[in-house]
Amino acid sequence: MGLYDKFTPYIHYREHVQASGLCPFGTCIDEIYSATEGRIGHQKIILAGTNNYLGLTFNPQAIASGQAALASQGTGTTGSRMANGSYGTHLALEQDLATFFNRPTAIVFSTGYTANLGIISTLADHDAIVLLDADCHASIYDACTLGGADIIRFRHNDARDLERRMLRLGARAREAIIIVEGIYSMLGDVAPLVDIADVKRRLGGYLIVDEAHSFGVMGHTGRGLAEALGVEQDVDIITGTFSKSLASVGGFAVGSLEMEALRYSSRPYIFTASPSPSTIASVRSSLRTISQHPALRETLWENARRLYQGLEKLGYTLGPNISPVVPVVMGSTEEGLRFWRNLIEKHVYVNLVLPPATPAGKTLLRCSVSAAHSKAQIDTIIEAFAALKR
Ligand code: PMP
């Protein structure tokens, strides 16, 4: 058996898709013009499939801060946080995040994926029990596998199912780790965090919330779903990413001072290079922008409402609630592929997401909204979907 033989079915599928036109897997955006516009091949496109929720990728202050750090601190740290990769600015960003979240400490990681890996794999070791929402992100599943914990999946967004499973654990529930997300990235739905926090209060355990898609998007100050629902004190650790609202790359966790111990035991923290100085500088700048410009969040939600209601009026099947993530449910993979290509012809780029990356085996055209979209751009996206209905 050859080294790559097991991939033959995927290669054939990809070739089959490519033979009939543009391929949706790893699509190259040939040029990027702004937070909302780019070019694929000869088509100028509106970017409606990013995680650029606040539209800060081209924010002038973030760019200037990144450029200044590039010039003064160089292109990269060339080392891990543990060795030579913790600069003053990495620590300053940790302080910024701790202050923003009003928590004793924050730890910066190289990506959101490694933030989950670094925190969860270290806590969820062989002796631990993890109860996780069935729809949790791959990084959370991978973290549990790396740590070696016993994994118990509960039904997506079902606090009663969580409670049932915790009751079965008896006294062990008191040490269990519960993991959920804020906004779920595929359907745009949110965790029933009030009910989950209530279960934790009654039965014990520790609660970790990945606010990757809700940070900057929800809550009075943008801290996420836990802030929006007033249950921050019930959440032990919040993890998140710099690759969505913060418009860069990297990840973080905020929690109690005891979390500091993980810096000396977390392999995904210790054995990978730290984010570059320019990355850290642009993130610090965008965090300030999030604090100082709450109106960005209002614009984001206005745009989300406009897109959701526009597509709903056309009769499309969407996610359960209005959210910056607007999934359009397709009847089949073939229909999804046809729609995805036709949307590009109409200058609109969304993400085609196929099972097993999607819940319940659905094929989705995952649209996402940015505060940087103009009303005219949102209407163009709706019009493109309308033309496909006709
Ligand atoms: N958590 C969730 C819920 C995510 O959706 C993602 C990325 N899409 C991550 C973590 C990983 O973040 P990053 O891209 O920074 O690695």
pLDDT, one tens digit per residue, over 95-130 is 999 999 999 999 999 999 999 999 999 999 999 999
The predicted pLDDT at position 359 comes to 84
pLDDT confidence bin for 257, thresholds 50/70/90: very high
Q: What mean pLDDT comes out for the span 151-164?
A: 98
Q: Does 137 contact ligand 1 (Cβ within 6 A)?
A: yes
Q: Closest by alpha carbon to 324, among 363, 368, 290?
A: 368
Query: Whole-angstrom Cα distance, residue 272 to residue 264?
Result: 13
Q: Does 133 contact ligand 1 (Cβ within 6 A)?
A: no
C-alpha of residue 241 to centroid of ligand 1, in Å:
6
Q: Does 139 contact ligand 1 (Cβ within 6 A)?
A: yes
Q: What mean pLDDT comes out for the span 60-69?
A: 98
C-alpha of residue 134 to centroid of ligand 1, in Å:
16
Parallel, antiparallel, or unpaired for β 237-241 and 177-181?
unpaired
Query: Whole-angstrom Cα distance, residue 238 to residue 207?
Result: 9
Q: Cα 186 from chain centroid? A: 10
Query: Whole-angstrom Cα distance, residue 65 to residue 85?
Result: 19
Name the closest-CA residue to atom 15, ligand 1.
112
The predicted pLDDT at position 268 comes to 97
pTM: 0.97
Q: Does 116 contact ligand 1 (Cβ within 6 A)?
A: yes
Distance set, CA 134 to CA 79, 112, 153, 154, 159 (Å) = 35, 19, 5, 6, 12
The predicted pLDDT at position 378 comes to 98
Q: Is the pLDDT of residue 59 over 90?
A: yes
Query: pLDDT of 84-99, one tens digit each?
Result: 999 999 999 999 999 9
Query: pLDDT of 266-304, one tens digit each?
Result: 999 999 999 999 999 999 999 999 999 999 999 999 999
- For a mutational test of ligand 1's pocket, the pick from 119, 156, 218, 241, i.e. the residue with the most ligand atoms closer than 8 A to its C-beta, is 241
Residues belonging to the active site: 185, 213, 244
pLDDT confidence bin for 258, thresholds 50/70/90: very high
C-alpha of residue 278 to centroid of ligand 1, in Å:
20
User: What percent of the chain is predicted at pLDDT more than 70?
Assistant: 100
Q: Does 349 contact ligand 1 (Cβ within 6 A)?
A: no
C-alpha of residue 147 to centroid of ligand 1, in Å:
19
Q: What mean pLDDT comes out for the span 29-53?
A: 97
Q: Enter the tokens of residue 78.
A: 């060339």
Is residue 369 within 8 Å of 295, Cβ to Cβ?
no
Query: Tokens 């965008």 sit at which residue?
Result: 286
**Which of these ranges, 23-27, 30-34, 77-81, 213-217, has the smallest mean pLDDT?**
23-27
Q: Does 251 contact ligand 1 (Cβ within 6 A)?
A: yes
Distance set, CA 78 to CA 242, 249, 271, 280 (Å) = 20, 16, 12, 14
**Which of these ranges, 19-23, 254-258, 283-287, 375-379, has the smallest mean pLDDT?**
19-23
C-alpha of residue 115 to centroid of ligand 1, in Å:
9
Q: Enter the tokens of residue 37.
A: 């516009």
Q: Is the pLDDT of residue 377 over 90?
A: yes
Side-chain-side CA neighbours of 175 within 13 Å: the count stands at 10
Q: Enter the tokens of residue 186.
A: 């595929």
Q: Is the pLDDT of residue 357 over 90?
A: no
Sign of the four-CA dihedral 189, 192, 194, 200: negative
Ligand 1 atom nearest the C-alpha of 243 is: 15
Q: Closest by alpha carbon to 77, among 39, 35, 110?
A: 110
Query: Tokens 């049932």 sit at which residue?
Result: 164
Q: Does 140 contact ligand 1 (Cβ within 6 A)?
A: no
Q: At a CB cut-off of 8 Å and minimum separation 6, what does 283 contact? A: 93, 242, 246, 248, 250, 275
pLDDT confidence bin for 360, thresholds 50/70/90: confident
